[in-house]
Structure 1
Amino acid sequence: MFEIGLLQIEQWVADFLWPLFRIAAFFMAIPMIGSGLVPARIRLGLALGVTVLLLPVLPPMPSFVAFSVESYLVTAQQILIGAAMGFMVQLLLQVFVVGGQLISTQMGLGFASVSDPVNGVSVVVLSQFYLQLVMLLFLAMNGHLVMIDALAQSFERIPVGLSGLGADIFSEIVTTGGWMFAAALLMALPPVTALLIINFSFGIITKAAPQLNIFAIGFPFTMLMGLLIAWVSLGGFLGQYQRIAEYALDRISSTFLGGG
């Protein structure tokens, strides 16, 4: 007669729950799926479905005593790894949010903010436009499938266990945060430079003709030129996104998958 012991049931539950914690934390932090627009039940159902599909191909899970300190530490570690992977994907989208903020501030639209339903905060109009455009490109290029594949491969690179997480992963995340601001500055540099030349020209006009009310004509003209420059720069937006996304995915691969 086939008998199942209590220890075997505990191990089966642990073999399912530990990957689930990493996958669920990833779906809670990844863009679009982890936003407030997606109900928590749908995210949890998606995490359960992906866990069931990945469970047969995952490496063997370690055995720990239930309700022990080691099991709690492993659980916390899986949540941290999944949230870190989702956070690094968030940095890819935030590059364009920060870049849009820099451009909007220079063109005089920094005060025109709207509510971002994805993150639950207020962002400027241009940043919201860039964010929506980047999310559509991310989905159109199957970025969500690439990230799920990277999540599955992370169990090989960082297996479930107390020795899987190193300090180098946290340093890579911090470095990626610095890269986000550098990439946003490079993205916004051409429009900001053009607007700076326009403002510099208005400064020369003010010096030459002090009686001219430069604020009455300078502000609407700068805003109009800023919108024109933003419209012209959309022609190279796809190339910028491809370069930034490729670099971001390479960093995620080198951090969590051990690739270059």
Structure 2
Amino acid sequence: MQSLIEFLGQNHVILFLLLFARLSGLFAFFPFFSHMRIPMSVKTAMVLFMAVFLFPQATLPNIDFSVGAIALAIVSEIMLGFIAGIFLLIVFAILQMAGMQVSFIMGFTMASVMDPQSGTSMPIISTFFTLVALVVMLAFNGHHMMIMFIVESLKILPLGDFYPNHGIWDYLVHAVSNMFIFGFILSFPIVGLSLLADIVFGMLMKTMPQFNLLVVGFPIKIMVALIVLIAVLTSIMLIFKREFLEAIEKLTILFI
């Protein structure tokens, strides 16, 4: 009984609280773990299980055990999860940007569906890219890498000791600018061939005025875009894998 009282002392309670806050922030913003289709009760159970499992590896931070200091430490842990989640969500945003451009070219802009990961309305091609990317991420064990990052963060970064440095903001600015560039690069094969099809249809309408673009042109354009999409989908997912692994490596900036 005495050992149980000592285990439930102030130091251990604060340590578990900060560890639970770090895991909550990471699981709330990491891709796949933050999926809207996963019930909140399941997410909470996962965080609680991970907190109990990783509790022996956590160390007590060197802070003043006052209400203000503990509150700042909790905010620091939530900020760590938020920024780490942004690092990886930018990679998925590249696919969403490419999907928006492809949907616009194919005429699927109005065909929006609910994205199960973010819970927002997205073009159907963007949602398709996101779902395929999640499957690819699970195939190369991207979720295991995120869990390993959580474990390594306990060894390198003390609880409540995170503070965003200039390297984080520099990387985020660079990643956001690359998001638009890579989004255009991934959609360029489909966009380029669709523009070429528009030129061909324009020439046909000049030579054959009876050619009905709305009846014949749009189905052909969608068919060509789907064929090209199937042909380049593997390459798109390989680029996604490369960018995701690079983002995982860049997470070490958070420990500097």
TM value normalised by structure 2: 0.88
Structure 1 residues 155 and 175, CA gap change in structure 2 (3 angstroms)? farther
How far residue 157 of structure 1 moved from its aligned partner, in angstroms, is 4.2
Counterpart mapping for 1:24-173 below 5 A: 24-67=24-67, 69-162=68-161, 164-173=163-172
Q: Which residue is equivalent to 1:216?
A: 215
Q: Which amino acid aligns with 1:16?
A: F
Structure 1 residues 155 and 217, CA gap change in structure 2 (3 angstroms)? same
Aligned counterparts of 2:159 and 2:190: Cα–Cα separation in 1: 46
Number of corresponding residues? 255
Q: Which residue is equivalent to 2:229?
A: 230
Report the secondary structure of 2:110's partner residue: coil
How far residue 56 of structure 1 moved from its aligned partner, in angstroms, is 1.7
TM value normalised by structure 1: 0.86
Q: Which has the higher contact order (CA 8 A, sep 6+)?
A: 2
Structure 1 residues 206 and 32, CA gap change in structure 2 (3 angstroms)? same
| Partners of 1:10 and 1:66 within 8 A in 2 | no
Counterpart mapping for 1:165-204 below 5 A: 165-204=164-203
How far residue 180 of structure 1 moved from its aligned partner, in angstroms, is 2.2
Aligned counterparts of 1:110 and 1:156: Cα–Cα separation in 2: 47
How far residue 76 of structure 1 moved from its aligned partner, in angstroms, is 0.6
How far residue 4 of structure 1 moved from its aligned partner, in angstroms, is 9.6
Q: Which amino acid aligns with 2:74?
A: T
How far residue 5 of structure 1 moved from its aligned partner, in angstroms, is 9.2
Q: Which amino acid aligns with 1:218?
A: G
**CA RMSD of the aligned region, Å?**
2.6
Is there any run of 5+ residues in structure 1 with no aligned partner, and where? none
Q: Which amino acid aligns with 1:15?
A: L
Aligned counterparts of 1:249 and 1:243: Cα–Cα separation in 2: 10
Report the secondary structure of 2:113's partner residue: strand
How far residue 120 of structure 1 moved from its aligned partner, in angstroms, is 1.3
Aligned counterparts of 2:245 and 2:69: Cα–Cα separation in 1: 37
Report the secondary structure of 1:73's partner residue: helix
How far residue 22 of structure 1 moved from its aligned partner, in angstroms, is 1.2
Deviations 1:196-255 (A, max 9, x none): 1111222233344445433332222111111111122234344223322222223323x2
Deviations 1:107-153 (A, max 9, x none): 22222111222211111222222111111111121111101111222
How far residue 18 of structure 1 moved from its aligned partner, in angstroms, is 0.9
Greater mean alpha carbon deviation, residues 155-164 or residues 36-45 = 155-164
Deviations 1:78-134 (A, max 9, x none): 111112212322222222122111111112222211122221111122222211111
| Partners of 1:108 and 1:222 within 8 A in 2 | no
Report the secondary structure of 2:196's partner residue: helix
Aligned counterparts of 2:178 and 2:22: Cα–Cα separation in 1: 25
Aligned counterparts of 1:167 and 1:236: Cα–Cα separation in 2: 34
Is there any run of 5+ residues in structure 2 with no aligned partner, and where? none
| Partners of 1:191 and 1:230 within 8 A in 2 | yes
Structure 1 residues 210 and 157, CA gap change in structure 2 (3 angstroms)? farther
| Partners of 2:61 and 2:161 within 8 A in 1 | no
| Partners of 2:88 and 2:244 within 8 A in 1 | no
Deviations 1:178-200 (A, max 9, x none): 22222222211122111111112
How far residue 2 of structure 1 moved from its aligned partner, in angstroms, is 6.2
| Partners of 1:31 and 1:90 within 8 A in 2 | yes
